[in-house]
Every structure is written in structure tokens, then in C-alpha cells.
Structure 1
């Protein structure tokens, strides 16, 4: 059910854009369904972002294996759940062609989001990243589609080098600079974890940068990242993985011991009814 006081999409888009202009930075956690979105809103977060991993796991699928149609339906539910702006993880735009990426932006906007990310990973083992000129062309098509919308859609461009295990900082910077020139509003290199690499990236671009908190090998926290100049910090599928980890531990206890000690850490039904009522 859509909150009765949900602002217009244009107002939410303005709010989301303004968050990126605040030098203090902001956290953008990643719910994977309407319930977790409402819980995060209750906790006072100012914006939300979808997670392809969390959504896929919740449907019993591996990450990045859910087609565009179900994802768009998920975004409709997610955006209707709270009065917060929502940005979407749009993977690689669900196709190679720039025209397909542009169509994905338009469809995501119609689903209610006010921003979204496009990555440069192909999904193919033989050539896991698009060449930079073609990757930039795809971002340019996404930007053109975003600028044609009746509200300021915030487009995030992702360089996936570190995320796929290719920790090439120089190539990551070249990619993000190309996407910046193509018109991206926010830049994102998921998987980058060393503070010195993040600091170098921040010096080499002039767009707001998103950093994924909790990447393997990362020990830095959000306040430190904000002090460095990072404008947005997300957590990807880690909240979903934490919840599923607790579920597996509880179910294993039930199977092996026949006990329910796990309920000591469970939120009460009364509390959830109060929050969702």
C-alpha cells in the first residue's frame, strides 16, 4: 500500500539530487522487499536503493539471473512501500545495445524510481567488461533517456573492475572519467576497498562518488568515507545476506538440536505488527 503522504516523483527526485550535493554525504541502504524498505524508513534513512543480489536471493535465484520484467514489478512494490526516494540497481541495463539501456531507464522511471545505476559488466566470461568507448556510448544513451524524463533522474555509472576481481585502479579511473564525460551524475566502482585507492579515485573525477561499504578487505567505515569526500555509501546485498545468514543458523539449530534458542534474537510479532500496522 502506497503511503498516503508519499511525495510526487518529481519532489522525490529533487530530494534525491539534493542529497548528493550535501558534502556531509549520506547512507543509502538496500532493502530487498517492501517490508525491509519500510523498516529502513522507520529507522530514519533518507533514501533507499534496490539490490539485484537481495532481490534475486529472495526469489530463490542466483544474483543477476532475474529478468527485467520481474525486476520492474519489484521496483513498483519497493517505491510504493515508503515516502522515500528509491534508486534502482539496473545491472547492465538488461542488454548490450545502448537502445536497450535507454529503454530500461524509461521503464524503471515508470516503475517509480528517481535514479538508477548502469554497469559495464557484460555477464560473459570471455569478455567480462565492455570496451570503454562502447561502455561510454551505453551510458550516454542512458543519460539521454534520463534527461528526457519530466523529473531529474539521477544516473549512476558503475565500473565493475574490482567487483569482478580485476583490481586495476587506472582502468577503473579511465572508465569512470569516460562515463563522467558521457553525462553520468554519480560514479561507482563497487569492490574498491583500500582507502588510498578511494582517495585517488576522488581526486581524479568531479562527480559525486558512491562507495560500497563492506567490500572484501575493507575495514573503513562510513564516517571515514564521508570525511574523505565520498558523497554516498551503499551496502549492496549485505543486509539481505545477513538476514539469510541468521535464517540458516536458526534453521540449522532447529534441524540439529530441535531447539529454538534463535528466538532470543528475533524481533517480536507484536513489534512487527506495530511497525507495519
Structure 2
């Protein structure tokens, strides 16, 4: 397991700025196998895509079902899988880490807002530090910064939160929803890898996002939604 985490961690050390790590998001075992067959070296589950595959609204997936879905995805492939576990489902850090390790995941996304409200950044950083300590290097922690999606447009607020989370031990920071023209400023102000989200077939390409400062690219629920649109088109 430790070897898989180190492989995943090494993938974030990119040789060139315009060559970001691209982590497509499987929502079930079948999509995970398709993405692995396409040649991607690692995967990152999107909580919203998994929720849709299980018949729930985003943010409404029961804890047990989310961890079970992640475990099925991990079992289906040989490449490392990171799991979006939203805000941690109210679990204590030690239990959250144990549950993640039981699925076989090598990493996790953890959000810093709840029900549309940003958490206190210092308290959240303290909680992240407990998660990282409990993980002991066995998980790659991607700390999401929700300022932009919660209508806090100043990049400085995102950078301040990112600094606290990196100091707490986070391996990567994810300023979700950051405008493309702000990425260079975030890259300059944040230590370590920076995650950006890309849409499928529209907006800046992963390479362009990399040139702006993104270290890794994820797609949120967009692959799952485009797949659903494709099925609807076939049926029509």
C-alpha cells in the first residue's frame, strides 16, 4: 500500500509546467476500468459523480455507501485511486483515515466548507493536521479551498487558507472554481502542488491550465455527466 501511495505522490512531481498530472474521475467500477484502459496512471473519484451513480444528489450520499463505492472502484483497477470524501462525514480523523485505508484508496479530497459556509480556516487546519498525523504518510491529502465557490473572490484569502493547510501537512491544495487568470497568482503564492478543475470539451485545456500554474487536473462530475448525455443521445 505504501508503495502505491509513493507512486501517486511521485506523479505530482511534474517535469514541465505545461505537463500537469491528469486524473480523470471514475464514478463506478466500469468507468474506472475504462479510464485505466485508456492509459491514465491514476484516478480520482468525484463525490458528485459517485452520488449520481448511486441515485443521490451531490452531498447527500450516505457515508457507508460512499466508502463502499470507493472500495469497488479501487478493487476494479491496478492504478492508484484517490477518493473525494467531501468534508469527512463528521468522522474523527483517526476513523476517517482507517476507513479510507480500508477501501484501498491512496489519497483523499477534503473540503473546507459545509452547507455553503466556509469553515474557520485555523480550526480546519488543526483538523487536517490530525488527519495527516493519523495517516502517517499513507494517504496523499488534497485540501480543497472553497473560497471561490463561496463567493470570496480575493485570491489572497485562498492563499492564506492554502498556507495553513500546507503547514498542517496537506500534500496538495485545491482552490476549486478559481478563475483561470488567477491561477498564476495562486501558483506563486502556494507551496506544493495545486489542483485545478477542467470541464470536458470546453474551456481551457489541461495543458493550458498547467501553463497557468496547475500541477494536477481533475474533472469533478463532468465526465459522468457527459457520459449520461451520451447515453441519452444514443437512446434518442
Quick check: TM above 0.5? yes
Q: 2:65 aligned with 1:81, yes or no?
A: no
Residue from 133, 142, 146 that aligns with 2:131: 142
1:27 aligned residue (19, 22, 30):
22
The structure, 1 or 2, with the larger RCO (C-alpha pairs under 8 Å, 6+ apart) is: 2
Q: What's 2:185 paired with?
A: 200
Where does structure 2 lack aligned partners over 5 or more consecutive residues? none
d(CA) in 2 for partners of 1:240, 1:109: 25
Q: Distance in 2 between matches of 1:43 and 1:87?
A: 18
CA deviation vs aligned residue, 1:211-270 (integer Å, no higher than 9, x gap): 11129xx8321112223442211111000010112233444x3xxxxxxxxxxxxxxxxx
Correspondent of 2:142 among 129, 134, 156: 156
Out of 105-114 and 160-169, give the one that drifted further.
160-169
Match of 2:226 in 1: 242
| Aligned match of 2:173 | 187
SS of the equivalent of 2:183 reads helix
Q: What SS does structure 2 have at the residue aligned with 1:163?
A: helix
Contact 1:146 1:155 in 2 (8 A): no
Counterpart position of 2:108: 116
Q: TM-score, normalising length from structure 2? A: 0.92
Q: CA deviation at 1:101?
A: 3.7
**TM-score scaled by structure 1?**
0.79
| 1:227 partnered with 2:211 | yes
Residue number in structure 2 paired with 1:274:
none
Based on CA coordinates, which of the two structures has the bigger radius of gyration? 1
Alignment size in residue pairs? 232
Listed as ranges, the gaps of 5+ residues in structure 1 are 1-8, 254-277
Q: Tell me if structure 2 keeps the 8 A contact 1:23–1:229.
A: no
